[in-house]
């Protein structure tokens, strides 16, 4: 397609901008859908399942509504790379509102043919992202995106059919990613239900633990290796560094370009590979299956392994105790909450007979392995999408 077929517009010629709810919001287990800063930053499209909620009024739901085609943009951040991240609403979300650290772009000029998916991808394109980062670099303290600055940015649009073609190519990858995520959510729920049925409720045994089972602790079934202070293990000379796995990387599921690097020649036990169980025991406590590629294990993270038991067993038991660990850390926190290693010794587990262990594992092990495989596939699909994005839009920059 010739570049002459692409037309340039200021965003303000297409969209109007509205800031989100500025006052603080507590999240509740019930209430109305609330789109958080985290969702806008991490998701390219608002997910089907919204996990954050807030108590909002009818007038707020009208003023801060979310309709199909709306684009939410992060308006403030501590760092330049967090500014102007976009998230597209592909459907109306009744009664939903959005965070005050975000802005809502809503099309008012219907004379311009715009595909909202395309614009969402366009705004995530690294070349366009540089415009946000350049603006953020001029801020003296916390970066903040004004309405005038956002609406003054220019975007180049090909004919609608071409916009839709580009969006279809990219969204086919995102659709597969979301399908994998949906499969994994279902598998996680099934695994939790099976685990609870056998190990917590003891339903196959009439509600009581069998006499031939044993009591133990997390320390009995797995080894919890604390990571290294990686600032002491930086790459040397011509070494190609490994990304350092910290709490931030564990939460987002991958090591980004801003990840710190460590020497690839650290001891092998401190190297993390896809499928390893990682437990963040300080700050933000969480347990997850790492699928973000080869990394070096930083301090404040446990790499959980076992020579005696399978991954499904120590993963499910560690995850089972997470809520209690979070409560303990919050109760003791003066600055940054954490748990002590002795808590692993106190965390009780039930160890079944070999026959029962194999029977339960025949259900749970394939589920855990499938979850890992789907997550690894998603990393590959994400990388492919991110490589295709600037190429498909090369005419537009």
**What residue ranges of the chain are covered by domains with CATH 1.10.287.1120?**
158-205+354-397
- pLDDT tops 50 at residue 143: yes
Residues 6+ positions from 169 with CB-CB distance below 8 Å: 388, 392
Rounded CA separation 235/185 (Å): 38
Tell me how far apart the 2 most distant CA atoms of the chain are, in Å: 79
C-alpha torsion sign, points 126, 128, 129, 133: positive
Phi (first) and psi of residue 103, to 5 degrees: -120, 150
Least confident of 77-86, 104-113, 117-126, 374-383: 77-86
Of 19-23, 88-92, 331-335, 350-354, least confident by mean pLDDT is 331-335
Instruction: Tell me how far apart the alpha carbons of residues 296 and 277 are, in angstroms, rounded to a whole number.
Output: 14
Q: What is the rounded distance in angstroms from the CA atom of residue 89 to the CA atom of residue 12?
A: 19
Q: For the chain, give every residue range classified as CATH 3.90.220.20.
A: 3-157, 214-351
The answer on pLDDT for 336 being more than 60 is no
In 3D space, the residue among 313, 311, 340 whose CA is nearest the CA of residue 328 turns out to be 340
CATH superfamily, domain 158-205+354-397, is: Bipartite methylase S protein (1.10.287.1120)
Q: Which two tokens stand for residue 283?
A: 């700050």
Phi, psi values for residue 189, rounded to 5°: -65, -45
Q: Other CB atoms closer than 10 Å to residue 257's CB: what's the count? A: 7
Segment 147-191, tens digit of pLDDT: 888 899 999 999 999 999 999 999 999 999 999 999 999 999 999
Domain 214-351 has CATH 1.10.10.60: no
| Cα distance between residue 203 and residue 190, in whole Å | 16
Which tokens in the block code for residue 261?
A: 């690097």
Choosing among 3.40.50.300, 3.90.220.20, 3.40.50.11740, 1.10.10.10, the CATH entry for 3-157 is 3.90.220.20
DSSP SS3 for 194: helix
Residue 330 pLDDT > 80? no
Of 60, 183, 82, 190, the C-alpha closest to 129 is 82
Nearest to 269 by CA among 239, 235, 307: 307
Looking at the DSSP assignment, which residues form a beta bridge with residue 304?
224, 277
Residue 302 has pLDDT above 70, yes or no: yes
């Amino acid at each position: 397609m010739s570049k002459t077929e692409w037309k340039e517009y200021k965003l303000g010629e297409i969209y109007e901008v509205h800031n989100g709810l500025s006052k603080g919001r507590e999240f509740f287990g019930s209430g109305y859908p609330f789109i958080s800063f985290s969702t806008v930053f991490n998701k390219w499209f608002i997910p089907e399942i919204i996990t954050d909620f807030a108590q909002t009024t009818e007038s707020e739901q009208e003023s801060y509504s979310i309709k199909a085609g709306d684009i939410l943009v992060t308006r403030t951040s501590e760092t330049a790379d967090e500014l102007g991240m976009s998230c597209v609403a592909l459907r109306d979300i009744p009664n939903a509102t959005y965070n005050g650290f975000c802005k809502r772009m809503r099309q008012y000029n219907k004379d311009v043919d715009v595909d909202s998916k395309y614009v969402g991808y366009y705004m995530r394109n690294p070349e366009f992202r540089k415009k946000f980062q350049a603006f953020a670099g001029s801020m003296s303290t916390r970066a903040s995106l004004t309405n005038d600055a956002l609406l003054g940015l220019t975007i180049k649009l090909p004919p609608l059919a071409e916009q839709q073609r580009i969006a279809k190519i990219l969204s086919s990858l995102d659709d597969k990613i979301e399908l994998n995520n949906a499969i994994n959510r279902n598998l996680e729920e099934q695994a939790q239900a099976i685990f609870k049925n056998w190990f917590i409720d003891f339903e196959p045994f009439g509600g009581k633990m069998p006499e031939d089972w044993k009591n133990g602790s997390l320390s009995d079934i797995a080894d919890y290796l604390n990571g290294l202070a990686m600032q002491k293990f930086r790459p040397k000379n011509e070494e190609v560094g490994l990304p350092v796995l910290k709490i931030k990387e564990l939460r987002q599921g991958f090591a980004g370009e801003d990840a710190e690097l460590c020497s690839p020649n650290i001891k092998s036990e401190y190297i993390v590979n896809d499928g390893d169980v990682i437990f963040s025991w300080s700050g933000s406590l969480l347990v997850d299956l790492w699928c973000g590629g080869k990394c070096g294990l930083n301090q404040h993270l446990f790499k959980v392994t076992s020579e005696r038991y399978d991954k499904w067993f120590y993963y499910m038991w560690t995850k089972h105790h997470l809520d209690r660990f979070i409560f303990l850390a919050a109760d003791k926190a003066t600055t940054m909450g954490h748990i002590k290693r002795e808590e692993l010794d106190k965390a009780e587990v039930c160890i079944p007979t070999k026959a029962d262990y194999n029977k339960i594992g025949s259900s749970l092990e394939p589920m855990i392995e499938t979850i890992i495989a789907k997550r690894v596939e998603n990393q590959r699909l994400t990388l492919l999408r991110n490589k295709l994005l600037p190429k498909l839009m090369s005419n537009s920059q």
